[in-house]
Chains A and B, each alone.
Chain A
Amino acid sequence: MTLARLHSGLALLAQFTGEHNSLHPAGPQASGIEWLYWVVFWITFAAFVLVVAGFTRAAVRNRSSTSEMLPLVRDLEGDRRASWAVGTAVFITVLTLFAVLFMSIITGKKVEGLTSKNPVTIQITGHQWWWEAVYPNTQADQTITTANEIHVPVGKPVVILTNSADVIHSFWAPSVHGKRDLLPGYSSAFWIQIDKPGTYAGRCAEFCGLQHAHMGFSIVAEDQDTFQRWEAQQLKPAVEPNSSETVRGRQVFLTHACVMCHTIRGTDAGSRMGPDLTHVGSRRMIAAETLPNTPGALAAWIIDPQRSKPGNKMAPNLLNPGDLGALVTYLGTLQ
């Protein structure tokens, strides 16, 4: 009873650590990992309590002053009991470690054990310092390319394929799955499933250079209809500008350095060095969850990206205020 209360108290405490939390599982894999966490926690907690109790008992019981010499006694019976006690303790420790190892393997198997005939597949590629997400399809025009904001249908197994464009990164959304390393030149895959709709935060969990700390992403889990609507929207080419302001904005984009690094599908800009901007207006955040996607933040980012993310791979762009305003308006229309 009190144990249960202590448990829920601890879980409550864990809530104050924010949205990035492995104790708030949103799917079967994260639940498995959370279960293992609590098992290990309670085992080590019990060991801790036992050790402290043993020490306290020994400290309280035999109090003799240091000035008297301790008598040398031959206590065969006591020696035998001591060997038994130590032997049992070692045995229990080894047994417990094996039990934990066993549970850890079981959890590992459970975490890997999802299958589905026709799952949503997402290729995640780590870049210094943002995430490219491609929903591959055999037809090029049915392929979605986006960045940092990953949408998945709720309650369905999803395959994540991983790779890296430069150095080792690690894909970690604690409410969804454990850490998975992204190795350059090496593809691997794992399953995720999210059962509760919502937005789940993720981070890079392997130091990857100057802006490692600003390399976030989010997973948006939504019901099948919303997900399909999102997919259909992302598959469209970029919105055509429909006012003189947005026409000017596109012109600015296409005549400056932007085209060397970004894609806007349906225009001449086709470089994949930076995030695909075809639907940048639909994203909640920009620059790998560093800034909100508001006109002000967008303008500040375009003029001086090295201010909020020093060292990132986007170069500063000196634009006059008129051009910048038009450009920001245009990017905002790219829903």
Chain B
Amino acid sequence: MLSEALFALFLTATLMLAGCKREERQLRPSPQASQVINEAQVSGLNPGANPLPGPPTPTIYEESAYAVSEGKRLFNQYNCSGCHAHGGGGIGPPLMDNYWIYGSQPENIFATIVQGRPNGMPSFRNRIPEFQVWEIVAYVRSLSGLLPSDVAPSRSDELHVKPPEQSMPKQTPVGITGAPEPSK
């Protein structure tokens, strides 16, 4: 009796595992997602609370451990780390804290990367395909614990200078941000 119940439990667990989005790998992104973002910028300034009206945020990137780890790889290889270090900041502001100048929502960060920001954040318009931008967005959000810990990367290849993204406590974003300020 007990062993049957255990078996049933095991079976359900196995089936649930198969449905786990975390392990989904999209190796061939759709043509639309492969596009480099190229639409004209409307104005030079884009305050954080007004994200681009662009494509709806595809949540698949924030649910897949593979996409986030690709984002982590690209964050280094596209040299975001040259200005933002491994999240601690340098020439650019830290990305592992809870303070956001231009918003913490995926759309805000997407706009930051594609359009650039006036105080020294270069624009990657025409340079990074859309699906990779979303992967980087997901990774940037994992830096301050905004992603579920089962998809956030669990270790780094380089010398550990901070806890892995997976162990970052979830922080409540503050600043001039698209997300509501925490009520006091």
Q: Which residues of A contact B (CB under 8 A)?
A: 166, 184, 210, 255-257, 259-261, 273, 304, 306-307, 310-311, 315-318
Contacts and interface: CB of A to CB of B under 8 A. Distances in A.
Contacts of A307: 28
B1 to A, nearest CB: 44
A260 B78 contact: yes
B157 interface: yes
Interface of B: 25, 27-29, 31, 34-36, 77-78, 126-129, 131-132, 157
Contacts of A257: 36, 126-129
A43 to B, nearest CB: 44
25 contacts: A166-B157, A210-B27, A257-B36, A257-B126, A257-B127, A259-B127, A260-B127, A260-B128, A306-B27, A306-B28, A306-B29, A307-B28, A310-B27, A310-B28, A311-B25, A311-B27, A315-B29, A315-B34, A315-B132, A316-B31, A316-B34, A316-B129, A317-B34, A318-B31, A318-B35
A210 B26 CA distance: 13
A257 B129 CA distance: 7
Nearest to A166: B157
Contacts of A166: 157
A318 B35 CA distance: 6
A315 B126 CA distance: 13
Given A257-B36, A315-B131, 11 more contacts: A256-B36, A257-B127, A259-B127, A260-B78, A273-B77, A306-B29, A307-B28, A310-B28, A317-B129, A318-B34, A318-B35
Counting from the closest, the 7 A-B pairs by CB-CB distance are A316-B34, A306-B28, A310-B27, A315-B129, A273-B77, A311-B27, A260-B127
Nearest to A255: B126
Contacts of A184: 157
B126 A316 contact: no
Nearest to B132: A315
A203 to B, nearest CB: 22
B15 to A, nearest CB: 25
Nearest to A304: B28
Q: Is the interface of A mostly helix, strand, loop or mixed?
A: loop
Given A184-B157, A311-B27, A256 B34 contact: no
A209 to B, nearest CB: 11
Given A255-B126, A257-B128, A260-B127, A316 B78 contact: no
Contacts of A315: 29, 34, 129, 131-132
A261 B73 CA distance: 13
A262 to B, nearest CB: 12
Contacts of B131: 315
B73 to A, nearest CB: 8
A318 B126 CA distance: 12
Name the residue in A255, A260, A273, A311 with the highest tally of chain B Cβ atoms < 10 Å from its Cβ.
A260
Contacts of B29: 306, 315-316
Contacts of B27: 210, 306, 310-311
B128 A316 contact: no
A317 B35 CA distance: 7
A304 B78 CA distance: 21
A184 B157 CA distance: 10
A257 B124 CA distance: 9
Contacts of A304: 28
A272 to B, nearest CB: 9
A256 B28 contact: no
Contacts of B35: 318
A210 B27 CA distance: 10
A304 B34 CA distance: 10
A63 B181 CA distance: 95
Nearest to B32: A318
A53 to B, nearest CB: 52
A318 B36 CA distance: 8
A256 B78 contact: no
Nearest to B130: A315
Name the residue in A210, A257, A317 with the highest tally of chain B Cβ atoms < 10 Å from its Cβ.
A257
Nearest to A272: B77
A271 to B, nearest CB: 8
Nearest to A274: B77
B180 to A, nearest CB: 35
Contacts of A255: 126
Contacts of B129: 257, 315-317
B82 to A, nearest CB: 12
A306 B31 CA distance: 12
Nearest to B124: A260
A260 B28 CA distance: 19
Contacts of B128: 257, 260
A273 B36 CA distance: 18
